[in-house]
């Protein structure tokens, strides 16, 4: 769609909207005029309720038809009419809009014709953009219709002020056509008694006082029979000029009375027959269905509602003040509005002189109306109206607490299944449903015969036994049924979906949560275990040489303990899940070292603290055995130290990536506000101070980055020769950053933002973004690392470069920027603030192989000082996150299990719907 077409469509829509508004106002004026005329006619005619209802329906129909026609004609504005109207509004005699509209696209045109056509359309589009809503909207037409609407409103206001009583009466009759409202008349009727009543078959003396005007017509009493609607007219006896009376004889049924004089009439007053039978009390007996297991109950009818379980047998006993001969119960089921209900009648069984009973089966809700008759056949004045409420047999409530609704797991994971089922009466069966996407359901009945109201289900699902592969999705659900014979009592839990991920993806998940210090602590722990064992052996050798039996016994015990602890730790490292490529070599080395420690343990059992000859040679053999993998261990430690030093610089690259993406986001948000200002919208002006604060924080982060990078470069100087190109590139990057001085632009942007100057703030923020981006465009190792390309080093071990690449990706994920377009946005390392890891939301819990959780010792070098060389590794971390193990904990299997308590409560039901179909 071309810009001219969009602009012309906008003009057309605005014109149509104006015409539609004018039509609605005119329709309102028309309706008011109709109702005004209807009210004036009703003043003189005094229509009855039936006539008023029919006239009201006719007027509503007429108004609706006129409204549809008016709205249809109002919105029929053609594109040509819109173009003509636009030319009229523009006042251009050349009529550029109509001319542009008449240019029909041709199949083939010359280049000159295409250029002229394009220019004509662009000029017309520019002209249409000049037309604002205030110019396009047909205000004269709307003002005219408002003036028309003012006519009936003025007439109504005049009538309201001049004749308030007549206005109130007529308006009530028009608004409530079915209500029994007497026609308007200046006459005022006062009927005595106000609440007439008579003894059955007796007399009733009525008196009416009429004031307010002259009586031009005879006064009559109207007698209406409510059952048939028949109205009798009886003449009144005039006692004075304003007082009229009438006596009614032999009243045996309830009637309504009113006094009339011409079209003027009083309200209808009901006459009560006092000796008609009345219902004094009632008793309800309920017998629930047998499958519910509930006992029968009986209670007095002290409310107007009976609540029964669906299918219950109901016995209603009624007691009256008079001897009864008959009765009938009418049941009207509840239906939807507009649907006619078919009533059912149930005859009564007279059980005593003053009692009668009704028996039926409660299957549907509805209304109950009970009418009784006395021995003379006189019905009760008012039926007993009750509501029958059905208590349905609700389906069982089933909840699957574990696994959560969304879960990621490796193919060898073990998932606990925890669920509950509850029913209002009793459960019958519980079954566990397992579905693999693309295959049919697998149903296993876990409780075939139940009689309890609740049932707790606990099991586990070994994914390895199912032979699942990465990418597949397993859906789990619990289903329960009750004893309802209608087979409708079936409930199911929510579906828990387990997406199978590969161990490589799980490793990526682990890497995204691993810090540099945690990475190094694993290697330090393995080295410390071997060093501790060697030191204790040397102490034992020295004690044996000195022939100090007590010292030798203590040294022997310490050596055994160091060997045992080191062996257990190294065995766990050997069985641990490697997240980085360099850890795979450590895994193999740990297995060999654990075997050497075990051999030493066997040999230490033969050591005599008393100093038997030949023991020195045995200890030297143990030391030699521990030193067999020394070269390989040193190489691995050197590689780990090198990766750590590289990662310390790469971490600064990730932090700069965060600063850059945050600056991109700030500039983009400033630009959005500027564009809104250009369109006349300023509701987001209040966001400028907060954006300025964000800009200032990003500027402070840039200052901290420069200080930290300089400190780390000084700490890395001379440590690793291979680190030179990356360190030199980082140093040059720092120098270029100092020369560019983007922080000055950030300060200016923040100042303009606080002052509310959006355009200036955007200009400076975008210039700062451009300076940062220019620094990243250089083909140097450090800028490339910021953009996600890991540096390559000339090292013989390929896994070193692979580990560095993995570490960079993890660091970029642990430092996501504030921008939506940055490639570094990923899983955060410290909580749910991270966005995603290869499409996997951080919010989802993950289950995979157990992994030892090493924490660096507080005495070791801290991140950022650049001078630490490591220290003693703490034997145990005090805490470990869910899904990980402490180094001294016992691994129960090849895969971790998921504990429902380990999953945060908000994520159990409200995680992101990542792979929900």
CB–CB of 895/847 below 8 Å? yes
CB–CB of 519/643 below 8 Å? yes
CA distance 100 to 79: 12
CA distance 233 to 236: 10
Calculate mean pLDDT across residues 126-137: 65
Pairing outcome for strands 836-837 and 384-391? unpaired
Residue 72: is its pLDDT beyond 60?
yes
Task: Supply the pLDDT for residue 877.
Answer: 28
Query: Exposed, middle or buried: residue 377 (CB in 10 Å: 0-12, 13-18, 19+)?
Result: exposed
Task: Supply the pLDDT for residue 340.
Answer: 81
Q: C-alpha 668: how far from its chain's center?
A: 28
CB–CB of 722/642 below 8 Å? yes
Residue 857: is its pLDDT beyond 60?
no
- Give the 3-state secondary structure percentages of the chain, helix then strand then coil, rounded to 5: 45, 20, 35
CB–CB of 259/219 below 8 Å? yes
Of 247-256, 449-458, 895-904, the range with the lowest mean pLDDT is 895-904
**Termini Cα distance of the chain:** 34
CB–CB of 90/127 below 8 Å? yes
Q: C-alpha 904: how far from its chain's center?
A: 17
Residue 837: is its pLDDT beyond 50?
no
Calculate mean pLDDT across residues 22-51: 77
Helix axes 516-545, 630-678, angle to 10 degrees: 160
CB–CB of 423/397 below 8 Å? yes
CA distance 372 to 348: 9
Q: Give every CB contact of residue 586 below 8 A, 6+ residues apart in sequence.
A: 522, 523, 526, 573, 578, 636, 640
**Cα–Cα nearest to 185, from 207, 217, 213, 160:** 213
More confident position, 122 or 858: 122
Calculate mean pLDDT across residues 20-32: 80
Task: Supply the pLDDT for residue 747.
Answer: 93
Out of 254-258, 796-800, 838-842, the most confident range is 254-258
CA distance 215 to 236: 13
Residue 107 pLDDT class (50, 70, 90 cuts) = very low
Out of 35-49, 306-320, 337-351, 826-840, the most confident range is 306-320
Residue 41: is its pLDDT beyond 60?
yes
CA distance 719 to 641: 10
Run of H or E including 804: helix 798-814
Residue 834: is its pLDDT beyond 70?
no
| pLDDT, averaged across the chain | 79
Residue 78 pLDDT class (50, 70, 90 cuts) = low
CB–CB of 527/637 below 8 Å? yes
Task: Supply the pLDDT for residue 349.
Answer: 85
Calculate mean pLDDT across residues 238-257: 86
Buried-state track 811-844, b at ≥16 Cβ within 10 A, e below 16: bbbbbbbbbeebebbbbbbeeeebbbbeebbbbb
pLDDT, tens digit, 9 for 90 and up, residues 180-223: 777 777 788 888 888 888 767 778 888 988 888 888 888 888 88
Task: Supply the pLDDT for residue 833.
Answer: 35
Evaluate the omega torsion of the peptide bond into residue 193 and state whether it is cis, within 30 degrees of 0: yes
Q: C-alpha 116: how far from its chain's center?
A: 54
Residue 173 pLDDT class (50, 70, 90 cuts) = confident
Torsion of CA 248, 251, 257, 259, to 10 degrees: -10
More confident position, 913 or 519: 519
CB–CB of 414/463 below 8 Å? yes
CB–CB of 897/847 below 8 Å? yes
Of 97-106, 114-123, 897-906, the range with the lowest mean pLDDT is 897-906
CB–CB of 4/123 below 8 Å? no
Residue 388: is its pLDDT beyond 70?
yes
**Cα–Cα nearest to 380, from 331, 337, 322, 425:** 322
- Check residue 499 and give left, alpha or beta (phi > 0: left; psi -120 to 50: alpha): beta
In Å, what is the CA distance from 777 to each residue of 270, 665, 765, 774, 784?
96, 19, 19, 5, 8
Of 133-142, 262-271, 315-324, 752-761, the range with the lowest mean pLDDT is 133-142
Phi then psi dihedrals of residue 360, to 5 deg: -160, 170
Cβ atoms within 10 Å of 393's Cβ, excluding its own: 23
Cross-strand pairs, 235: 220
CB–CB of 346/331 below 8 Å? yes
Task: Supply the pLDDT for residue 745.
Answer: 92
Q: Which pTM value belongs to this model?
A: 0.55
Calculate mean pLDDT across residues 740-749: 92
Task: Supply the pLDDT for residue 35.
Answer: 78
Share of the chain above pLDDT 90, in %: 12
Task: Supply the pLDDT for residue 113.
Answer: 67
Task: Supply the pLDDT for residue 135.
Answer: 66
**Cα–Cα nearest to 837, from 506, 413, 583:** 506
CA distance 589 to 828: 31
Of 309-323, 713-727, 888-902, the range with the lowest mean pLDDT is 888-902
Task: Supply the pLDDT for residue 418.
Answer: 92
Which 3 state secondary structure label does DSSP give 422? strand
CB–CB of 629/594 below 8 Å? no
**Cα–Cα nearest to 518, from 126, 909, 176, 877:** 877
Query: Exposed, middle or buried: residue 295 (CB in 10 Å: 0-12, 13-18, 19+)?
Result: exposed
More confident position, 433 or 54: 433
CB–CB of 383/369 below 8 Å? yes
pLDDT, tens digit, 9 for 90 and up, residues 871-883: 333 332 222 233 5
pLDDT, tens digit, 9 for 90 and up, residues 532-583: 988 888 888 888 888 878 888 888 888 889 889 988 898 888 888 888 888 8
Residue 721: is its pLDDT beyond 90?
no
Task: Supply the pLDDT for residue 891.
Answer: 56
**Cα–Cα nearest to 288, from 265, 322, 269, 313:** 313
Task: Supply the pLDDT for residue 882.
Answer: 39
Residue 861: is its pLDDT beyond 50?
no
CB–CB of 708/656 below 8 Å? no
Residue 887: is its pLDDT beyond 70?
no
In a 13 Å sphere around the CA of 881, the CA atoms on its Cβ side amount to 15
Task: Supply the pLDDT for residue 95.
Answer: 63
Calculate mean pLDDT across residues 706-729: 83
Calculate mean pLDDT across residues 57-65: 82
pLDDT, tens digit, 9 for 90 and up, residues 651-695: 888 999 999 999 999 999 999 998 888 888 887 888 889 999 999
CB–CB of 777/783 below 8 Å? yes
pLDDT, tens digit, 9 for 90 and up, residues 402-460: 888 888 888 888 889 999 998 888 888 889 898 887 777 788 888 888 878 888 989 88
More confident position, 907 or 128: 128
């Amino acid at each position: 769609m071309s810009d001219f077409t969009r602009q012309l469509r906008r003009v057309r829509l605005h014109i149509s909207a104006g015409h539609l508004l004018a039509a609605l106002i005119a329709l309102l004026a028309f309706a008011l005029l109709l109702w005004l005329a209807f009210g004036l006619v009703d003043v003189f005619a005094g229509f009855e309720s039936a006539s008023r209802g029919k006239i009201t329906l006719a007027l509503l129909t007429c108004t609706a038809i006129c409204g549809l026609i008016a709205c249809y004609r109002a919105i029929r504005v053609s594109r040509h009419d819109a173009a003509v109207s636009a030319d009229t509004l523009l006042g251009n005699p050349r009529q550029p809009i109509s001319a542009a509209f008449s240019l029909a696209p041709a199949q083939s045109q010359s280049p000159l014709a295409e250029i002229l056509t394009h220019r004509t359309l662009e000029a017309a589009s520019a002209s249409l953009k000049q037309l604002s809503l205030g110019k396009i909207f047909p205000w004269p037409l709307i003002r005219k219709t408002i003036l028309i609407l003012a006519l009936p409103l003025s007439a109504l206001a005049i009538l309201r002020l001049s004749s308030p009583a007549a206005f109130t009466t007529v308006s009530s009759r028009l608004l409530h056509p079915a209500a029994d409202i007497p026609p308007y008349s200046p006459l005022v009727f006062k009927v005595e008694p106000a609440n007439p009543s008579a003894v059955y078959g007796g007399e009733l003396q009525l008196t009416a006082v009429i004031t307010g005007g002259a009586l031009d017509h005879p006064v009559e009493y109207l007698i209406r029979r409510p059952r048939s609607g028949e109205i009798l007219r009886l003449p009144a006896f005039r006692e004075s000029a304003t007082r009229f009376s009438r006596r009614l004889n032999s009243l045996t049924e309830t009637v309504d009375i009113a006094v009339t004089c011409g079209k003027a009439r009083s309200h209808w007053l009901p006459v009560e027959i006092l000796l008609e039978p009345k219902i004094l009390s009632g008793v309800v007996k309920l017998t629930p269905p047998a499958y519910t297991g509930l006992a029968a109950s009986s209670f007095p009818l002290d409310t107007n509602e009976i609540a029964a379980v669906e299918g219950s047998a109901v016995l209603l006993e009624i007691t009256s003040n008079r001897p009864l001969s008959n009765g009938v119960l009418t049941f009207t089921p509840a239906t939807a509005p507009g649907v006619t209900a078919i009533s059912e009648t149930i005859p009564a069984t007279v059980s005593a002189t003053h009692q009668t009973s009704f028996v039926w089966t409660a299957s549907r809700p509805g209304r109950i109306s009970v009418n009784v008759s006395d021995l003379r056949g006189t019905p009760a004045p008012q039926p007993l109206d009750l509501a029958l409420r059905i208590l349905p047999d609700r389906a069982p409530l089933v909840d699957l607490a574990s696994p959560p609704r969304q879960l990621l797991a490796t193919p060898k994971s073990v998932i606990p299944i925890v669920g509950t089922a509850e029913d209002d009466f009793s459960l019958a069966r519980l079954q566990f449903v397992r579905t693999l996407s693309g295959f049919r359901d697998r149903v296993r009945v876990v409780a075939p015969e139940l009689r309890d109201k609740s049932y707790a289900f606990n099991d586990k699902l070994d994914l390895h036994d199912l032979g699942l592969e990465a990418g597949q999705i397993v859906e789990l659900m619990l289903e329960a049924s009750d004893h309802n014979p209608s087979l409708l009592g079936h409930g199911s839990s929510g579906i828990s979906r387990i997406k199978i991920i590969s161990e490589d993806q799980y490793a990526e998940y682990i890497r995204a949560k691993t810090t540099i210090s945690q990475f190094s602590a694993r290697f330090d722990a393995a080295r410390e275990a071997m060093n501790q064992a060697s030191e204790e052996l040397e102490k034992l050798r020295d004690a044996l040489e000195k022939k100090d039996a007590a010292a030798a016994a203590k040294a022997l015990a310490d050596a055994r303990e160091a060997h045992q602890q080191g062996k257990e730790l190294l065995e766990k490292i050997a069985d641990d899940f490697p997240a980085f490529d360099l850890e795979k070599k450590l895994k193999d080395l740990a297995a060999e070292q654990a075997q050497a420690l075990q051999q030493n343990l066997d040999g230490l059992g033969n050591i005599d603290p008393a100093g038997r000859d030949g023991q020195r040679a045995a200890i030297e053999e143990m030391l030699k055995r521990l030193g067999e993998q020394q070269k390989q261990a040193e190489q691995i430690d050197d590689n780990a130290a090198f990766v750590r030093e590289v990662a310390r610089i790469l971490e600064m690259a990730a932090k700069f990536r965060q600063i850059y993406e945050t600056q991109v986001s700030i500039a983009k948000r400033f630009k959005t506000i500027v564009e809104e200002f250009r369109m006349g919208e300023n509701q987001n002006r209040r966001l400028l101070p907060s954006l300025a604060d964000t800009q200032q924080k990003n500027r402070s982060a840039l200052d901290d980055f420069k200080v930290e990078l300089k400190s780390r470069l000084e700490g890395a100087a001379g440590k690793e020769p291979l680190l030179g190109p990356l360190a030199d590139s980082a140093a040059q990057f720092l120098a270029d950053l100092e020369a560019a001085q983007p922080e000055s632009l950030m300060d200016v942007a923040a100042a303009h933002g606080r002052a509310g100057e959006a355009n200036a703030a955007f200009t400076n923020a975008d210039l700062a973004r451009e300076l940062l981006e220019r620094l990243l465009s250089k083909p140097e190792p450090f800028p490339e690392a910021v953009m996600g390309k890991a540096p390559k080093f000339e090292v013989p071990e390929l896994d070193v470069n692979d580990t560095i690449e993995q570490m960079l990706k993890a660091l970029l994920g642990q430092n996501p920027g504030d921008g939506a377009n940055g490639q570094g946005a990923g899983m955060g390392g410290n909580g749910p603030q991270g966005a995603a890891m290869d499409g996997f939301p951080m919010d989802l819990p993950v289950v995979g192989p157990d992994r030892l959780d090493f924490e660096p010792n507080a005495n070791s070098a801290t991140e950022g000082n650049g001078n630490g060389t490591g220290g003693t590794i703490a034997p145990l971390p005090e805490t470990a996150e869910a899904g990980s193990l402490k180094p001294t904990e016992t691994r129960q299997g090849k895969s971790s299990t998921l504990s429902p308590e380990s999953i945060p409560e908000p994520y159990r039901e409200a995680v992101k719907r990542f792979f929900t179909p």
